Amino acid sequence: MTYIESLNALTDPRRRSLFEALASQPMSVAELSKTQPVSRPAVSQHLKVLENAGLVTVTPQGNRRIYAANRDGLLPLRDYIDSFWDDALTAFANHIKSTEGK
């Protein structure tokens, strides 16, 4: 997965809310639907987007499917954001070096 897929999936407030709920504990669609102001089919559609982006995992359990946050799915997004941090630190270090002794 790429950071773009993760970023696109998490830009929607409802999907972000579902991901955050699953980060605290795995749940079924029925359990998640009770915490959201949208229908069960809408929750399922949002979960499919999160799953396709690699942000949630699904485990069949009898006739239910249990969803859980996949924290490793955030790694491409974190690497992308960290690259900006690394660039900023390098620029800062170069600035300090260029002003030393002035």
Assign 3-class secondary structure to the chain: CCHHHHHHHHCCHHHHHHHHHHHHCCEEHHHHHHCCCCCHHHHHHHHHHHHHCCCEEEEEECCEEEEEECHHHHHHHHHHHHHHHHHHHHHHHHHHHHHCCC
Q: What is the pLDDT of residue 93?
A: 86
In this prediction, residues 67-79 reach a mean pLDDT of 93
The pTM score is: 0.81
pLDDT band at 89 (very low <50, low <70, confident <90, very high): confident
Right CATH number for 3-99 from 3.40.50.300, 3.30.2320.80, 1.10.20.10, 1.10.10.10? 1.10.10.10
